[in-house]
Amino acid sequence: MTELRWVLLALGVLVIFAVYLWSRGLPQRWLEPLAALRKRRTAEKVRVEPDLGAEVRVNENEEAAEEAIPAAASALDPAPPAPVETIVTLRFIPNRKAIACDRVILALRAAGLKHGRYDIFHKHADEFSDEPLFSVANLTEPGSFDLSRLSETKIPGMSFFMILPGVGDPVERFDQMVTTARELARELDGELRDEKGSSWSIQRERYVREEIIEYRHLLDKHAPD
- Write out the chain's pLDDT in tens, 225 residues: 555 555 455 555 454 544 444 445 445 444 454 455 455 554 444 443 444 344 434 444 445 444 544 444 444 556 666 778 899 999 999 998 899 999 999 999 999 999 999 999 999 998 888 899 999 999 998 999 988 888 788 999 999 999 999 989 999 999 999 999 999 999 999 999 999 999 999 999 999 999 999 999 998 887 776
Q: Whole-angstrom Cα distance, residue 225 to residue 222?
A: 9
156 Cβ contact list (under 8 Å, min separation 6)? 93, 94, 97, 98, 139, 140
186 Cβ contact list (under 8 Å, min separation 6)? none
Give residue 30's pLDDT: 44
Which residue type, as a one-letter code, is found at position 225? D
Q: Is the pTM of this model over 0.75?
A: no
Q: Whole-angstrom Cα distance, residue 163 to residue 87?
A: 5
Domain 86-221 has CATH 3.30.1400.10: yes
Q: Whole-angstrom Cα distance, residue 16 to residue 22?
A: 10
What are the residue boundaries of the structural domains of the chain, listed by start?
1-46, 86-221
| DSSP conformational letter for 197 | S
Q: 39: number of CA atoms within 13 Å, CB side?
A: 6
